[in-house]
Structure 1
Amino acid sequence: MRISLDPSLPPARYAQELYRRAGRLRRKLPQLAARERVLRAELGRLEEFGEQLRRRPDIAPYLVGELISLGALSPPSQKRPQKPRPREVVIDGFKVAIGRSAQENDALVRQANPRDLWLHAKGVPGAHVIVRSGGRPVPPQVLKRAAELAAWHSQARGEGWVEVSYTEVRYLRKPKGAPPGAVVLTREQVVVVSGKEGL
């Protein structure tokens, strides 16, 4: 490797300056990687908004509230309408909650028992699904049906086979500064289900 020298500095001093500059850049790498993750999550969120608007134009007023919470829009001076509660269904005696927005996804995770089961379609924007197990073992048929709901309420809807990540809520972390709905899994299992099985 060749390094061109700065003629105004002695070679030893120039080498020290290059070493210091490399050290500063190396120390910034973790911050840049974290910022990249946050920006990718924001991009995914905005893509999810576009997908939701394409599928259901009637939710445009609700998505305005989401964009305001992300800081992409300024809030109107008048009072915003109250957001609807997450959708809940019962599968074989287990309550299953489905988030319909980033805010609801955040609220679901915050309010969940650490032993509840969390599901999300892998690698695509979509709903968080919480099986309120309270630590009880979740039967395979309940897990499968909840995974189908997670696939259905994602951009993978209609796909033949969809990978769905699942873990207990206690294995979720929210990165500092991450947009609503973004989480990091510290443990993960994957189940493959049909993306064509909705409610």
Structure 2
Amino acid sequence: MLSLIFSSSSPTFCLRSKTLALTTALSSLTARTTMSVSLQSHAFAGNPLRSRTPNPDDPFSPISAFESLKTRLLENTHQPTSPDFRVLPFRKGRPLASSSPGGPAPDWHLGWISLTDFRGLLASSGVQLSENSLVYLGSKVEDDVVYWAIDVSDEGGLVPEFSSKQFCFVELRTLMVATDWADQQAMGDLSIAGHDACLCAEFLAHRCG
């Protein structure tokens, strides 16, 4: 009976299995690693993304980036353009994430998706991406990237798509437990996830209000 259950090809079962596997893998870090925790630091402090630029005409500023976003969505081009735009989807406050095996425990990372690829995923589900659905997060000038977030809680059809690419939506508390606080890059991702979840919640509250 047990073998029959685990051999089920149900999409819902497969999705739950992958989500459970990722959550379990991330949570297991608490038992296998020693975290360097400073009680004077906050788990979501140190966001590495720059949210402001002194010149509004700068291509990385919120105003310029938003205008560029509208143009790209209208042109529907697949040609690489500077700066690069990347999107982090959220679902019910959970950021998209994945893990990869490495060392004694798996490493997790946020599920950033290029604007072109994300728009294609939405189109395959019959949804057209609008610039008003995206929240500006900031940029990394040195990497030539502008970052955006979007809430996809109402787009249930995307969950199997992400699952097929080994991504799933993970609770922030699980990511906190799974993060080595001595790892600067991991702490930066954790900070981004925490701040972005708040921004998406505020954005939705403002839009619905």
Question: What is the TM-score when the length of structure 2 is the normalising length?
Answer: 0.24
User: Higher relative contact order by CA 8 Å / sep ≥ 6: 1 or 2?
Assistant: 2
Structure with max Cα Rg: 1
